[in-house]
Structure 1
Amino acid sequence: MNTIQDRHSGTARPRRRSALSVLAAGLAATLLTGCQQSNQLITFGDMSSSYNREVFWMSVWAIALSIIIFVGVSWALFYTVAKFREDRHDAPPAQFHGNNRLEVILVAVPVVIVVLLSVLTVRSMARLNPTPTNAAKIDVLAKQFWWNFSYPAATAEAGGTVSNGNEMIMPTNARVALSITSGDVVHGFWAPNIGGQRHALPSVIKTWNVDTERPGVYQGNCTQLCGASHANMRYKVIALEPARFDAFLSAARAYRAPTPAEGSAEARGYTLFMQGKTATGALACAACHRVQGTPAAGAAGPDLSFFGTRRTLGAGMWEGDKAREMLPEWIKHSPKVKPGSLMPTYDGSEYLVDGKVQRGGRLTDEEIGDITAYLRSLKLPEEADYWRGTPGAIAGGTQ
């Protein structure tokens, strides 16, 4: 009743305006910025990226031309309707077939617009596409349903190339050349804050430049429908100031997985990680994953060398404390908690490999806890922890 009375009394108008203002503000925030937990941003048109700035100014020209065309066509339409109304002109309309000047104008104006937009586009491509010789290089591998980021210029002292799974560390105020490819189907790489999209194609390597002037944590996603967990194929971009990035790379080069204390949970987990458990059919984790400074050199899954430093799990499905909580469940039966995951199960349940049903091995909860303890011990030195002190860092501790 109060609502009806307010409507009739006219007091609903301010409320309606207020509600519309709130709705408009909410819609704008949703379209422009999706806030993740801990103030992480996924922002379309982030002006900290040179790619986004270039595309923005090119869009200004395109929008301005569109407005000019709209106003011009609208004016011509209304002018013609007003001047040649039927009630003012009884005679048949004059024909202008063969009016060369009009035909030239109708052809020339669209040609000029298209040429101008083409020149602006080519200019932007010439600015953005070349890869500077001093660019930081990162190799990006996309697979169902995770990402691996390698640093080809950083050779680890323990052998191989420094790499990290599902968390891409990059410097600020520098061009970063991403060499993107796929290990299975077509995927799409896009972190809107640092640049545009690029397809990740099997057997094809595409180089793509990204950058940002602002340190922070940014969300990235696969943008190409690639299977059951396409929506769960995420990653984080951690942009660090150059000095911190160099400190990370230096520590990563020198990193060797710590040797667990004899008889500890980490030591038991190390043995299970490397050898599995033949008696129950539990496969060795080392067959699919690499850990720098150990015999584990698998390439079928993400690099786990710095797993204990990460704050995400399952290619970004869980973050912070939730990631830490879910780790045992993830090891036990990842296909159950992430549809389409190709990891084997360790609770004896079935899973699919290339469309064929496989039965996983078995590990006890205590044994899974031992593997969990070992993985959490794989940490970079504190000074190289790329999450520490970074704006937008995920709340909670590392793994």
Structure 2
Amino acid sequence: MLNTIQDRSRGIRGRAGRLGVLAAVPLLTLLSGCQQTRQSLSIGDFASAYNREIWWMSLWAIALSIIIFIGVSYALFYTVNKFREDKHDAAPAQFHGNNRLEVALVVVPVLIVFGLSVLAVKSLAVVNAVDAQAPKIDVLARQFWWNFSYPAATAAAGGTVTNGNEMIMPAKQGVTLTITSGDVIHGFWAPNIGGQRAAMPAVNKVWTVDSDRAGAYQGNCSQLCGASHANMRYKVVVLEQDRYASTVSAMQAYRAPEPAPGSAEARGYALFMQGKASTRAQACAACHRVQGTTAAGAAGPDLSFFGTRRTLGAGMWEAMTEERWEDEQAAEQLHAWLKHAPVVKPGALMPRYDGGDYMIQGKVQKGGTLTDTEIDDIAAYLRSLRLPEAADYWRDTPVQGAPTAGGSQ
């Protein structure tokens, strides 16, 4: 069992330096209380056909290894006991030229290796098989987040249905993933649904994963990819097939709501789309997409359903309560993230809005400035980006591997 519980609040790096240490102390106090599901992972989860196949192959390999160990140990102790020096004064017999013994010493290892090879090839054929009829999900890895697109699901508002850092898939059915990277090599690994695959730039790796049990599972980047490699997490939410179909349909029909004039959401929408030129605060829409608006950025995760999601910063923080990001503690986390993401997540390419410096591809950039009220307005707009309640894929979904029974949310 692998436990993925880590405090992600200690990632203060770079040019914040000595002058930022005292200011960071209250921030650390805030983030140290972040809600986590304390979710464990298991490569022995039999709800996955991949894990079942690897397990049965491993049983044969382990059984054969035990037989070999017993056989070699018996031969060793038998020989040492029978031909001890205190029992024999004569020089030991030489077996050079003993053809039967030499043939056995060659043939037996060859048969062992051949048997293991057959088991491995058989299992590789099973776990690497691609189901052409299975639902398809395109997985894009970037420093340090994930995007999951559904190529067969065209949005009514235009484009393809996409969700950032939370992958939704049906239960009791294989899902074909096409995995690639937009920058460096990453590793896609959600142990409960299958093994690891490298996400490599300009390379598409296709394979099929599955789970027979509905629930939310933890995924991580398994390839060292930079300063926030350990902070590059995601969730896999497995839904029963009818619920999955209705959720994807709702995603296709979704259009971002029109904020009420004069509301915090409306002010946040204006800042999200246009930024604030007078203080050099960049527009969020330059990097993020929101379905049903003109925001079509691709440099950051898709935010179309942010209000429905329960993870932030690629899983660094989780809002596993019904209030989600309206919960007081979660709202503080969201505010801190929007204000200065590179401070709370090392290596994050999101700009700062507190006027501080941050790094982009080795170059120092000066962040723009937004007031706390303006940041809260953007947060209010993001919270409004929610799927209909019936399509909330987190509703009544058990968090598998949580210490409580199922961890139902």
- TM-score, normalised on structure 2? 0.87
Q: CA deviation at 1:101?
A: 0.4
Paired amino acid for 2:130: T
Aligned-residue CA RMSD (Å): 1.9
Where in structure 2 are the equivalents of 1:70-149 lying within 5 Å?
Answer: 70-149=69-148
Counterpart for residue 389 of structure 1: 396
Would you say 1:347 and 2:357 are equivalent positions? no
CA distance in 2, matches of 1:325, 1:82: 73
Q: CA deviation at 1:120?
A: 1.0
Q: CA deviation at 1:47?
A: 0.4
Superposed CA offset, 1:148-183 (max 9, x none):
000011000000000000011110000011100000
Paired amino acid for 1:124: S
1:48–1:35 Cα change, 3 Å: farther
Counterpart for residue 4 of structure 1: none
CA distance in 2, matches of 1:204, 1:170: 23
Counterpart for residue 166 of structure 2: 167
CA distance in 2, matches of 1:310, 1:197: 24
CA distance in 2, matches of 1:90, 1:185: 68
Q: Which runs of 5+ in 1 are unaligned?
A: 1-30
Counterpart for residue 240 of structure 2: 241
CA distance in 2, matches of 1:269, 1:150: 26
Structure 1 consecutive aligned stretches of length 4 or more whose deviation exceeds 3 Å: 31-41, 321-324, 393-398
Counterpart for residue 48 of structure 2: 49
Note if contact 1:220-1:235 (Cα within 8 Å) is conserved in structure 2. yes
Superposed CA offset, 1:57-110 (max 9, x none):
000011011001100100000000000000111111111101110011111111
Q: CA deviation at 1:331?
A: 0.6
Q: CA deviation at 1:44?
A: 2.0
Q: CA deviation at 1:128?
A: 2.0
Higher relative contact order (CA 8 A, sep 6+): 2
Note if contact 2:285-2:296 (Cα within 8 Å) is conserved in structure 1. yes
The alignment partner of 1:309 has SS state of coil
Higher Rg of the two aligned structures: 1
Q: CA deviation at 1:130?
A: 1.9
Where in structure 2 are the equivalents of 1:274-285 lying within 5 Å?
Answer: 274-285=273-284
Where in structure 2 are the equivalents of 1:16-27 lying within 5 Å?
Answer: none
Q: CA deviation at 1:358?
A: 0.4
Would you say 1:267 and 2:254 are equivalent positions? no
Note if contact 2:356-2:366 (Cα within 8 Å) is conserved in structure 1. yes
Counterpart for residue 326 of structure 1: 333
Paired amino acid for 2:349: L
Counterpart for residue 255 of structure 1: 254
1:372–1:397 Cα change, 3 Å: farther
Note if contact 2:396-2:408 (Cα within 8 Å) is conserved in structure 1. no
Q: CA deviation at 1:39?
A: 7.0
Counterpart for residue 363 of structure 2: 356
Q: CA deviation at 1:33?
A: 6.3
Note if contact 2:220-2:232 (Cα within 8 Å) is conserved in structure 1. yes
Superposed CA offset, 1:325-352 (max 9, x none):
3111101100000011000000100000
- TM-score, normalised on structure 1? 0.89
1:213–1:344 Cα change, 3 Å: same
1:303–1:156 Cα change, 3 Å: same
The alignment partner of 1:272 has SS state of helix
Counterpart for residue 221 of structure 2: 222
| Counterpart among 342, 362, 365 of residue 335 in structure 1 | 342
Note if contact 1:218-1:238 (Cα within 8 Å) is conserved in structure 2. yes
1:35–1:318 Cα change, 3 Å: closer
CA distance in 1, matches of 2:112, 2:159: 53
Q: CA deviation at 1:126?
A: 1.6
Counterpart for residue 317 of structure 1: 316
CA distance in 1, matches of 2:408, 2:95: 77
Aligned-pair identity in percent equals 71
CA distance in 2, matches of 1:390, 1:41: 16
Q: Which runs of 5+ in 2 are unaligned?
A: 7-35, 320-326
Counterpart for residue 376 of structure 2: 369
Is the deviation greater in 256-265 or in 35-44? 35-44
Paired amino acid for 2:286: A
CA distance in 2, matches of 1:310, 1:334: 18
Superposed CA offset, 1:222-264 (max 9, x none):
0001110000000011110001100110000000000000111
| Counterpart among 368, 378, 382 of residue 385 in structure 2 | 378
Paired amino acid for 2:265: E
Q: CA deviation at 1:35?
A: 7.9
Q: CA deviation at 1:129?
A: 1.4
Would you say 1:183 and 2:182 are equivalent positions? yes
CA distance in 1, matches of 2:101, 2:379: 77
The alignment partner of 1:214 has SS state of coil
Report how many residues are paired.
368
1:278–1:204 Cα change, 3 Å: same
Superposed CA offset, 1:29-70 (max 9, x none):
xx4666895474411210000000000000001101100110
